A = this chain, B = another copy of it.
Amino acid sequence: MNTTAKSEATYATILAAGYDMAAAEGIGKLSLGELSKRTGISKSGVFSRVGSLEALQSAVLDEYDRRFGEEVFLPALQVPRGLPRLTMQVDLWLKKIGNETARGGCLYTAGAFEFDDVPGPLRDRIEAGVMRWRASLRKTVLQAMEAGHLRPDTEPEQLVFEIYSLAIGVMHDARFLRANAVPRRAQRAFNRLISTYKSFNDLE
């Protein structure tokens, strides 16, 4: 490897360890000293690659966003807009949160409970990410209303709040209670919820 390639590989190693640490323990637990221990790279080496703790936190969230795009957002764009896409978005999201228990579920949801009372750039970044995903869900809900899949009196913000609550509940039960039946419960809860929003035309 030349020097640039080696430097990039080192950075990738640090980022991967940082991602795993954040996923398991929370984005707030990241520390350059601990990453130095876990990777065997000197503290000054870690510092010179990532620049600062804040830059590392940001890079870890970027990596989460990249994976979320790959596993949830982009596949859902492949199905027709409206209810099919909404169902796919929620399904892939709940699966990601429910399956990834060992790797920490959703960095944003965990971060929301960790940083609700800690003003600063990290809290702002987490909040912006949450709002972006909620805006995306709301857009899909609106398209489902336009397509006549959901009742015309649907309140998109209300439905998004109900879906979001369900996702956080899935994470709570999977990560904290280590309950077994979570994916099945989540699926049934979403079906029940969406049945109350479906337009009559679509029920047949």
A-side interface residues toward B, CB under 8 Å? 24-26, 104, 109-110, 112-117, 127, 130-131, 157-158, 161-162, 164-166, 168-170, 172-173, 175-177, 181, 185, 188-189, 192-193, 195-196
Contacts and interface: CB of A to CB of B under 8 A. Distances in A.
A192 B110 CA distance: 27
How many copies of this protein are present in the complex?
Answer: 2
A176 B127 contact: yes
Contact of A114 (B114, B166, B185): B114
Contact of A112 (B127, B161, B172, B193): B172
A125 to B, nearest CB: 13
17 contacts: A24-B117, A26-B117, A112-B176, A113-B172, A113-B175, A117-B175, A131-B177, A157-B185, A158-B189, A161-B169, A162-B189, A162-B192, A165-B169, A165-B172, A166-B169, A193-B193, A196-B196
Contact of A161 (B26, B157, B189, B195): B189
Contact of A165 (B104, B127, B166, B176): B166
Contacts of A162: 166, 169, 189, 192
A175 B114 contact: no
A109 B24 CA distance: 18
Given A114-B113, A114-B114, A196 B189 contact: no
Nearest to A105: B116
